[in-house]
Amino acid sequence: MKKKNKKVNAAILIIGNEILSGRTQDKNIAFISNWLNSKCGISVNEVRIVPDLEKIIIKNILELSKKFNYVFTTGGIGPTHDDITAQSISRAFKVKYEYHKEAFKILENYYGKSKFNEGRKKMAKMPRGSKLIYNPSSAAPGFIVKNIISLPGVPSILNSMIENCKRYLIKGSKVHSKTLNLFTVESNISKQLGLIQKKYKKFVDIGSYPFFRLGKIGVSIVSRSTSKMKLENVNRDLIKLVRLKKIEILKI
């Protein structure tokens, strides 16, 4: 992995009509986001889901690549006619869409020359200048070009490949988190919570998430920061609020 940088961010671009139609439920957003945060110190700041349409893919690739350090795409790098991610990225960056020699060799060895048909050969085509992200599950590699990292949409395959992305990433500062589960309603603490967030807005992000457990309504207060010290300060202020309001803390 490359040299550590304090703040590094990413976006995820999910590509596929099957996600938008509801036929397939996405599982990659949570996995990639968690992996980037916990293993690389990279925060995911935006997620988009787009159809298999070249103009839309190109538009989003260009927008996101300028806005974020990295853009992870999933889907659209398979052997069928609607797998157009690699071709679209090539056109977005105005580079040739061509066979990657090493990818071609990997796939030819995997399938054997007699079964290496046109559809399978297509999985070796990618933007000129791409570097491979190796695939230990089904051989067909993903690729990185500029700051775009393209991975397959099948969760089990993507999961097996994700560690092979590390070598291309600049590592950011790890984001730490603390969770306080309270038996109360959000409106009971919203004003004071807003004041605490304002006090630490440059250092800590605070979120409140309602839940229903053990027959009671509650709120999970989640604080996130790259600074453990600031996180502890926020937690002390939250505990003071809890005591002032005489709120029950749920121990998990």
Provide the residue-wise pLDDT of the chain in tens; the chain has 252 residues.
Answer: 665 557 899 999 999 999 999 999 999 999 999 999 989 999 999 999 999 999 999 999 999 999 999 999 999 999 999 999 999 999 999 999 999 999 999 999 999 999 999 999 999 999 999 999 999 999 999 999 999 999 999 999 999 999 999 999 999 988 889 999 999 999 999 999 999 999 999 899 999 999 998 788 999 999 999 899 999 999 999 999 999 999 999 886
* CATH superfamily, domain at 8-168: MoaB/Mog-like domain (3.40.980.10)
Angle between helix 54-67 and helix 85-92 axes, rounded to 10 deg: 60
Q: How far apart are CA 126 and CA 108, in angstroms?
A: 16
Residue 3: per-residue pLDDT: 59
**pLDDT, position 4:** 59
Are residues 90 and 96 in contact, defined by beta-carbon separation less than 8 angstroms?
A: yes
pTM of the complete model: 0.86
pLDDT score at 233: 96
Report which secondary-structure segment, H or E, holds 224.
strand 216-225
**DSSP secondary-structure letter at 142?**
E
Q: How many CB atoms lie within 10 A of CB 191?
A: 8
d(CA 84, CA 92): 12
CATH 2.40.50 fits 176-249, yes or no: no
Helix (H, G, I), strand (E, B) or coil at 193: helix
Q: Tell me the domain boundaries of the chain.
A: 8-168, 176-249
Q: Which long-range CB contacts under 8 A does 201-208 form with residues at least 24 apart?
A: 203/227, 203/230, 204/230, 204/231, 204/234, 206/234
The pLDDT of residue 251 = 80
H/E run at residue 178: strand 176-183
Dist CA 159 CA 231 (whole Å):
31
